[in-house]
Amino acid sequence: MSKLLKLQVSNPKVWILIGVSVAGIVILAETRRRRIKSRNAIKEDFGSFVEKFELSPFPQPPPPAARLPLSGLKFAVKDIIDVKGFVSGFGSVDWKRTHEAAAKTAVVVTALLRNGATCVGKTIMDELGFGITGENSHYGTPTNPKLPSHVPGGSSSGSAVAVAAELVDFAIGTDTIGCIRIPASFCGILGFRPSHGIASLVGVLPNSQSLDTVGWFARNPSTLHHVGHVLLQLNPLETRKTRRLIIADDLFQLSKVPKWKTVDVVKKVTEKLSGYQKVSHMNFGQYISSNVPSLKGFRDELKKQQNSLSSLKALASVMFILQRYEFRTNHEEWYNSVKPRLGHRVSDHVTASINTTPENIKILYKIRSEIRNTLQALLKDDGILVIPTVADPPLKLNSKKGASAEFQDRTFALCSITSMSGCCQVSVPVGEHDDYPVSVSFIASHGTDKLLLDTIVDVYPSLQDEVSIASNSPQEPDVNGNMDASELLKEKGNAAYKGKQWNKAVSFYTEAIRLNDKSATYYCNRAAAFLELGCFQQAEEDCTNAISLDKKNVKAYLRRGTARESLLCYKEALQDFKYALVLEPQNKVANLAEKRLRKLIN
């Protein structure tokens, strides 16, 4: 046996085989090491940059000249903004492949360099400026530093992430239909969309010129303020005005964040600071419906949604038609000649844009003019409208379903206000809810950007103090009714329900309904407690009330179906479970119940 081993080892072919094997192992190990190193490199910059470089600021003027306002600050720019010598990739590999390097640097970048800031690179964006999640199928999705398992928001995703991850002091992006505001909210930072046409768009690739603006992100209001003064060339000596804050109550109903974390925080801050009138409230959707007459035709198409928010959904639909029409005007020739490879979600948007042929273009611009005049009449030069920036938490990464229709409707209803009116808006972080960042937005009329920037510098420290107090204090209704008492009672009912104290839960929900009988959730929750008590008729009645208030309340259909099945009303119960499946096709409870009832009926 040993002789055979010696023979094999002395064979040159064996040594060649051993050498090849060892080399293979070494190559494999090196490949693995490089992959790990590459992954770590991406993690270091959170995948926010598409290109890194450094553009030095203009030299500081000699004394006695003042220090440049952005001296010592680093910034990055979205890959839609020209930097001399680099191709603006527009988030698309095929766009980058078919275009030359920029001959000049964009005006906004030059202004920042001239005022002392250093540019350190270009950031990833959604393809061609379409999309609000920040996901890019070619360049990857930047990691949201606040919620790594969720999207960062887009289309200015890389710029928002670079700021949130503290890789830069501020970053420049663009906002067409929410591309600054949404990622600012999802990443928990400040995001400013200026009045349309105020910041220069020279050297910025267009998506839809009637909606496009250059905007910026920052972690603190001072930096946000300094950048704004540079880009918008504002007068620092402008007279301070007493401000009027107006809260859009109907828009906060879109959000599931408790009002004591948003509305009440804003109210408490303005009550403590000087220079602010008492906060007022309004139904913004109704105001738009009454004051933008040209929107009526688009509202009529939403016959199933005749409520105050239908006007904002109609406004959002106008925004999309306008965006698609102008994108087609700008880029149809390139699209038809190149046939670019696009992610499937972006491809749908682009295809719709290329195929857009609006019957009456003039009505789109008329609505745009009317909504601007309407906001001007409401806000004048001292008013600030307060709304939620977004209504929903960030979506999870790589979600197969993507953004649901409801998510998009709520998001774009809110974003359409300033996109269509051209007003200025700032998204301000106000803590967290269920571990995701929460924000509110302040909107001022077109051209009053300095008022808005000054307001944020004024209120931000107190706002964060109130957020901290609210998050660390047990919430009880105070004598002035600042706390939403009905919501508190609902939460107490939920706690009793979890503790299997069914009668106690019914009592709390009943009190909540007494204070607010327009909440489908209160009725639906009480129905759940009644089911546990065997009170099936009461549960059925509560679910019917819930459905009358919210036609898409899946839980109400499921609970009413359960109550009716318990009352031996099998056909009616079957209809409830069927409708639940229409709303949620994969609902396991409804699927099982439907099969069970079909057997009973047959």
Structural tokens at position 242: 């007493």
pLDDT tens profile 172-188: 999 999 999 999 999 99
26, burial (CB in 10 Å: exposed 0-12, middle 13-18, buried 19+): exposed
Segment 14-22 shows an average pLDDT of 55
Per-residue confidence (pLDDT) for residue 534, from 0 to 100? 83
Q: Name residue 292's amino acid.
A: V
pLDDT score of 1 more than 50: no
Q: Name residue 235's amino acid.
A: N
Per-residue confidence (pLDDT) for residue 482, from 0 to 100? 33
pLDDT tens profile 536-570: 889 999 999 999 999 999 999 999 999 888 777 88
pLDDT tens profile 359-373: 889 999 999 999 999
Per-residue confidence (pLDDT) for residue 27, from 0 to 100? 52
Cis preceding linkage at 416, omega within 30: no
Per-residue confidence (pLDDT) for residue 401, from 0 to 100? 64
Per-residue confidence (pLDDT) for residue 235, from 0 to 100? 85
Rounded Cα distance, 163 and 75, in Å: 9
Segment 402-416 shows an average pLDDT of 87
Rounded Cα distance, 474 and 459, in Å: 24
Q: Closest Cα to residue 300, out of 284, 283, 317?
A: 317
For the question of whether the overall pTM of this predicted structure is more than 0.85, the answer is no
Per-residue confidence (pLDDT) for residue 483, from 0 to 100? 40
Indicate the DSSP class of residue 305: G
Rounded Cα distance, 135 and 125, in Å: 8
Segment 467-485 shows an average pLDDT of 60
Per-residue confidence (pLDDT) for residue 180, from 0 to 100? 98
Per-residue confidence (pLDDT) for residue 12, from 0 to 100? 56
Average pLDDT over the chain reads 89
Among 3-17, 66-80, 259-273, 515-529, the minimum mean pLDDT is found in 3-17
Percent of the chain with pLDDT over 90: 70
pLDDT tens profile 268-287: 999 989 999 999 999 899 89
pLDDT tens profile 446-455: 999 999 999 9
Rounded Cα distance, 339 and 341, in Å: 7
Segment 100-112 shows an average pLDDT of 98
Identify each DSSP E strand in 506-563 by its residue range: none
pLDDT score of 30 more than 90: no
Identify each DSSP E strand in 147-279 by its residue range: 170-175, 190-193, 213-218, 244-248
pLDDT score of 473 more than 50: yes
Rounded Cα distance, 370 and 363, in Å: 10
Segment 473-478 shows an average pLDDT of 50
49, burial (CB in 10 Å: exposed 0-12, middle 13-18, buried 19+): buried
Rounded Cα distance, 147 and 163, in Å: 14
Identify each DSSP E strand in 79-126 by its residue range: 118-123
pLDDT tens profile 209-245: 999 999 999 999 999 999 999 999 998 877 677 899 9
Banded pLDDT at 24 (limits 50, 70, 90)? low
**Angle at which helices 284-291 and 361-379 pack, to 10 degrees?**
120
Q: Name residue 17's amino acid.
A: L
